[in-house]
């Protein structure tokens, strides 16, 4: 059974240099900037491919409708091998606007699938297969 949204929010805040600050922003604004490359990185995909691929993978996925992009939270180690067309791996020196785990609907940045607080991330191999399958379809 997934952990409560509060446990997921606490798990997300652990990557911020000031956890209390991150938790406060998440509670009051519903959105917080978190550094990438600490405990997870993010794969950025265009909205069309990203939303389709999100249906084929497990783990936390963020949708930014205004930017028309989807972010998949992946292990930091993915940065060593990530090579997938029409995506970008964001890691160290990058920050990501992360919604509170309760934010699962538009408007604005929201979770397609929020974290469960356990530390589960999107499997990079499964994500690569899901996105590569989408880009192969687009080419044919």
Looking at residue 5, its pLDDT comes to 78
Looking at residue 140, its pLDDT comes to 44
**131 contacts 87 by C-beta, under 8 angstroms:** yes
**Is 50 exceeded by the pLDDT of residue 96?**
yes
Percent of the chain whose pLDDT exceeds 90? 84
Quick one: average pLDDT of 86-103?
Answer: 95
Categorize the per-residue pLDDT at 2 as very low, low, confident or very high, splitting at 50, 70 and 90: very low
Q: Does pTM surpass 0.85?
A: yes
Quick one: average pLDDT of 13-21?
Answer: 93
Number of CB atoms found within 10 A of residue 132's CB: 16
**Is 50 exceeded by the pLDDT of residue 139?**
no
Nearest CA-CA partner of 111 in 78, 64, 58: 64
Question: How confident is the model over 24-67, as pLDDT tens digits?
Answer: 999 999 999 999 999 999 999 999 999 999 999 999 999 999 99
**85 contacts 133 by C-beta, under 8 angstroms:** no
> CA quadruple 59, 40, 109, 1: dihedral positive or negative?
positive
């Amino acid at each position: 059974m997934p952990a409560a949204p509060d446990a997921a929010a606490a798990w997300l805040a652990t990557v911020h240099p000031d956890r209390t600050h991150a938790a406060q922003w998440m509670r009051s604004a519903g959105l917080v900037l978190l550094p990438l490359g600490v405990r997870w990185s993010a794969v950025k995909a265009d909205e069309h491919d990203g939303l389709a691929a999100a249906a084929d993978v497990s783990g936390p996925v963020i949708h930014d409708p205004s930017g028309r992009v989807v972010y998949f939270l992946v292990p930091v180690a993915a940065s060593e091998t990530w090579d997938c067309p029409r995506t970008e791996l964001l890691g160290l020196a990058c920050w990501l606007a992360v919604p509170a785990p309760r934010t699962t609907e538009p408007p604005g940045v929201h979770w397609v699938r929020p974290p469960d607080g356990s530390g589960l991330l999107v499997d990079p191999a499964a994500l690569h297969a899901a996105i590569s399958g989408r880009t192969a379809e687009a080419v044919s």
